[in-house]
Structure 1
Amino acid sequence: MDDEVVKEVDVFLTKELKDHLWLMQYPVRPVDSSYDNETFLSTQIKPLQRKVNIDVAIDTNASSYLTSKGEFLASSVDGSIPKGPRTYPSGKLDRIELKSAQGIPKSDRYAIGAIKNGSVHLTPLSAIVQMRPSLSFLDKADAASKEREKLLDIDKDNSQDEEEAKTVTVKFARQETSEQKSRRIKSYDYLKKKESEESWSHFRYHKTQDEMSGKIRHRLLATKHEAVVAYASPSEYLSSLIPKPTEDIVDNPDMPSNVLSMAQLQSMSLNDRVKAIVTNAKVIRWSQLIALLDKDIDQSLAMKAIQQVAVLVQGCWVVKSEVLHPKDTFSAHNHSPAEVICRARDFMLWKFTQSPSLIRRDIAHIVKIPSEELKEMLEQIAKPKPKQGWIFNFEFDQDFVHKNKEVVQRQNMVWEHKYQQLKKHFELTKDCKPAESARERRRRHSSHSKSRSDVNDTDGEQPVPMEVKEECVVIDSPIHNPVSSPGQAITNNLNGDTDGLVAELSLLLREKLLTDCVFTMADMRRIYQTKLAQCPAGHILATGVSESLLEKTVLNSGAIKIHYMNPPGSTSTFYVLIDAGNDLDPVRTIMAQLFQKSNRIKSNTLREELEQQKVQLNEDKIKSLLKDYCTFRAGFWFLKGSMET
């Protein structure tokens, strides 16, 4: 039975103000406290961006107004001596800014209704905005404070004179696809740019009881009464508003390009499914992959599929470089060819097969690709940690390696073949470094011999010569019983692979030495303990090392020992890099000799010593070298870490 019609009301639709009618909401303003009694100082609008700014006066004579606080805030914004016009000429915080935010995106579905003589007149809305108080004056105060601090630091910056040369990267614009253009238009940066391009239009605010407001309200009423032509019956009209569900319609929501739904995965073949998962994840464990596939899937088929699109690193699967960067394509940042990117990425992955961590600087020195390209590669499969470099995203999957020895052996053969290709292309030596010229080799050996003599003069004992294996292979040592602490002497390895232990320790300390330049014994113990925690059970480092072995190894890795007296009467020992294998080694040696004589130096002292030794070096390189080794304090350079000892 239909409901009884109680009353019929005529409804009129007027569009006279539909392009100019905005609804302004005040969500943080009490209902019984409108702005009708407030004073509006200025009103600014950006019609295209739907932005509104209104300055409302604050009654500074009110009993609730704290004068001292208002003067302090105004002074923080303008400063004692403002550069331009004052934001608050009265010297007090005498206004508050109301700033708009988007209310409802699709406002054309809403209308304002006016009732007159029993008829309803509807006008569609053009925009709905929400007005809230803005505390932008605090941002201005913060910016002014930072500007004053910057001016105070100018003298200090001039005294240090440590301006560094900045690397300029040339980027090439590439043709934008329709999908990329769509994402760019929706991005925050693009919207902010469009907002800044539109200038503010100034308007006058009319209150509710003003004459102008009354005239505008009168235009909300329809002046012409024309009947609406019916295009459907009442039942058909209701059906168009609320359609009846006749069948299950799958409405796939818009998703990012790197997200796959389970429904999409189920519609793919096994090979395509595995490729899609690995490509989007970049690195994944075998157990995670199986969890995303069907429970009744044949795991042997999945194993074959993943080996076509991924390689094994640390017991986990990483998508192949040629899958991410197909042939004849170019990188997004610098338009680098796919062959160059794939080769660099393969070398990075190979390094991760040798160690769960690496130093980005060492990789960049070999592959020679732009830093942003290399950083993007690392971020996909690793995460940075202070003083440890880049750590692989997952721990070594010992369970998978133990259960799938044939697959692991096959992947080792793949990596061996790939390494031979990389070694040939990058001209790597046996210790995985770029081959150096004969001139560089003579210079390095000359400075290394000099550093050995410095060690003898300062330490009083001859470093023990060691024979180090120079092979870039994974050290597969038998399982030993681990010692209780790294400082314990090597008792489990007296008849074992001592050369292998020394080689592994040398690689570890040399890698860290090239990065940090200055060590203490505590630093070396921490580096060893961190590395030991990352190694699987039975690793050769688990046999333990003594402090004497750490010291001898770091001295044979290109460092010199310096006895540092700071404060007077106390002595600390530092190990300083002087043999990095480049043209700056003579300068490193001279600087180390100066620190052997004094616990602090001046840059002028280093320059004078270089001139006496007839070593030519420009000012920028001297500054860079001092920053690598020292900290600046009160006009002097101190070795890093020495101020805390």
Structure 2
Amino acid sequence: MTDSDDPVVVSYDVYLTDSQISRYVLQYLDRPTGHPYDERHGQKPTAFRVKPQTGLVEVDVPINTRVNYDVNKGLRYGDALRKSRVAREGGAYGMAGGFNTGGAVPGAGAGGEGRGVKTEGDVEMADVEEKKGEAGASLLRVQTLGGRIKVPEEGDPVYMLGAFRGNNLHLSPVSAVVQLRPQLHHLDASEEVMTKGRAGKAKKDLDEDAAPRAAETEARAIDVKIKSAEGGEALVPGNLELLKKMQDERWETYDWVDAETEEAWAVYEDYMIHQNPEDLPQLQSAIESEDYLDGMSAPRIDPAHPELTGWAMKQNQKRRKERQRADREADQDSEVNVEEG
């Protein structure tokens, strides 16, 4: 075996950790792998929110206002978020707010709110005042990334997180993989402010002219529909109920701890690595080697009987081995009789 073309280089003892906590893998689809959102790259997330019942997740990350940043638009969208009733009342936009079909429902924070303008190098206060024309302007400094936790179904792969310590490999189950994408909450807030402005103007004109106007700015609840193959439409009550649950559920907020901090490493040691692996029970396999190969590979074919595959092939091999064992035992008995004779 020493001359094998594929020698065993190293072997590890594998340990399974307890799943007492939730472990989520966050995937940033538009972010290069070499530039994570952390303190070292100057973009440590400022907030993490989750709606556990409906599985919604939002992460607020700082925007680099020093590079490729339009101050005019930043002021416009930041001011819209500051004036937004949804943001002020702690609601949410988009799917997390049920697409705001029934107004804002207070929660535990809304992502992407405008921050007060500072003079710490990224944007000069004089430029802000010149463009905005008023004190206390709000600049969009935070981008919200959002996604949804996919509930695992039967047959889905089971993902594990691996941690090495010496020759030990500690595996921890992943609760879910969440793909995060940029959320356009600032556009929703801008549309809300514009809608309120048009509604206020329409009301003023109505009061002055005493003439009814078309209620084109009136907020309406949306109907989620799908089209059948025949071209008809059908209302989907389940989708409306889900949107209502998303809107009613409150955010649970958590502090974001940077990966390189001492606190993060302490949690890593506690929940990713067994401190006393020698005390763990030995796992016993519940499947035989041949069954494992059949479960993960294509059906094996017996060259002597190509028509037999899988279970039939194994039964044929079993009978063949039993016959061979019986023949060997018969031969041994014959040899013993000859010697005695």
TM-score bracket, shorter-length normalisation: 0.5 to 0.7
- 1:93 aligns to 2:136 (yes or no): no
Deviations 1:113-165 (A, max 9, x none): 1122122221111010012221111011101101110110113445224799x
Q: How far has the Cα of 1:232 moved from its partner?
A: 3.0
For 2:200, the equivalent position in structure 1 comes to 151
Q: How far has the Cα of 1:104 moved from its partner?
A: 8.5
Structure 2 counterparts to residues 19-98 of structure 1, below 5 A: 19-36=21-38, 37-60=42-65, 62-79=66-83, 87-90=113-116, 91-98=138-145
The count of corresponding residues between Structure 1 and Structure 2 is: 227
CA RMSD of aligned residues (A): 3.7
CA contact (8 A) 1:88 1:94 kept: yes
CA contact (8 A) 2:143 2:182 kept: yes
Please list every run of at least 4 consecutive aligned residues from structure 1 whose deviation after the TM superposition is greater than 4 angstroms: 1-5, 79-86, 102-108
| Residue type of the alignment partner of 1:50 | G
Deviations 1:463-522 (A, max 9, x none): xxxxxxxxxxxxxxxxxxxxxxxxxxxxxxxxxxxxxxxxxxxxxxxxxxxxxxxxxxxx
Report which of the two has the higher share of helix: 1
Structure 2 counterparts to residues 368-379 of structure 1, below 5 A: none
Secondary structure at the counterpart of residue 199 of structure 1: coil
The separation in 1 between residues aligned to 2:213 and 2:86, in whole angstroms, is 30
Q: Would the alpha carbon gap of residues 21 and 81 (structure 1) be closer, same or farther in structure 2, given more than 3 Å must change?
A: closer
Deviations 1:66-104 (A, max 9, x none): 323211222334459999579425111121112124579
The separation in 2 between residues aligned to 1:220 and 1:119, in whole angstroms, is 12
Q: How far has the Cα of 1:34 moved from its partner?
A: 1.3
Q: How far has the Cα of 1:54 moved from its partner?
A: 1.6
The separation in 2 between residues aligned to 1:113 and 1:81, in whole angstroms, is 45
Secondary structure at the counterpart of residue 258 of structure 2: coil
For 1:116, the equivalent position in structure 2 comes to 165
CA contact (8 A) 2:257 2:264 kept: yes
| Residue type of the alignment partner of 1:12 | V
CA contact (8 A) 1:114 1:221 kept: yes
- 1:193 aligns to 2:244 (yes or no): yes
| Residue type of the alignment partner of 1:69 | K
- 1:139 aligns to 2:191 (yes or no): no
| Residue type of the alignment partner of 1:202 | T
Report which of the two has the higher share of strand: 2
The separation in 2 between residues aligned to 1:48 and 1:98, in whole angstroms, is 19
For 1:211, the equivalent position in structure 2 comes to 262
| Residue type of the alignment partner of 1:118 | N
For 1:237, the equivalent position in structure 2 comes to 292
Deviations 1:50-78 (A, max 9, x none): 32212222344x25433232112223344
Structure 2 counterparts to residues 498-513 of structure 1, below 5 A: none
Q: Would the alpha carbon gap of residues 207 and 3 (structure 1) be closer, same or farther in structure 2, given more than 3 Å must change?
A: same
The separation in 2 between residues aligned to 1:70 and 1:207, in whole angstroms, is 27
- 1:221 aligns to 2:273 (yes or no): yes
| Residue type of the alignment partner of 1:88 | G
Identity across aligned pairs (percent)?
Answer: 20
For 2:334, the equivalent position in structure 1 comes to none
The separation in 2 between residues aligned to 1:146 and 1:240, in whole angstroms, is 59
Deviations 1:236-291 (A, max 9, x none): 222233473989xxxxxxxxxxxxxxxxxxxxxxxxxxxxxxxxxxxxxxxxxxxx
The separation in 1 between residues aligned to 2:165 and 2:214, in whole angstroms, is 74
| Residue type of the alignment partner of 2:253 | H
The separation in 2 between residues aligned to 1:115 and 1:155, in whole angstroms, is 69
Deviations 1:409-466 (A, max 9, x none): xxxxxxxxxxxxxxxxxxxxxxxxxxxxxxxxxxxxxxxxxxxxxxxxxxxxxxxxxx
The separation in 2 between residues aligned to 1:41 and 1:243, in whole angstroms, is 49
Deviations 1:305-330 (A, max 9, x none): xxxxxxxxxxxxxxxxxxxxxxxxxx
| Residue type of the alignment partner of 2:114 | Y
CA contact (8 A) 2:147 2:178 kept: yes
The separation in 2 between residues aligned to 1:198 and 1:16, in whole angstroms, is 29
* TM-score (norm: length of structure 1): 0.31
Secondary structure at the counterpart of residue 160 of structure 1: coil
Q: Would the alpha carbon gap of residues 113 and 189 (structure 1) be closer, same or farther in structure 2, given more than 3 Å must change?
A: same
Q: How far has the Cα of 1:228 moved from its partner?
A: 1.5
Structure 2 unaligned spans of 5+: 91-112, 117-137, 216-234, 301-307, 310-341
Deviations 1:24-68 (A, max 9, x none): 1111001221111314322212233332212222344x2543323
Q: Could you say which structure has the larger radius of gyration?
A: 1
CA contact (8 A) 1:108 1:127 kept: no
The separation in 2 between residues aligned to 1:99 and 1:82, in whole angstroms, is 17
The separation in 2 between residues aligned to 1:228 and 1:200, in whole angstroms, is 40
| Residue type of the alignment partner of 1:10 | Y
Higher relative contact order (CA 8 A, sep 6+): 2
| Residue type of the alignment partner of 1:198 | E
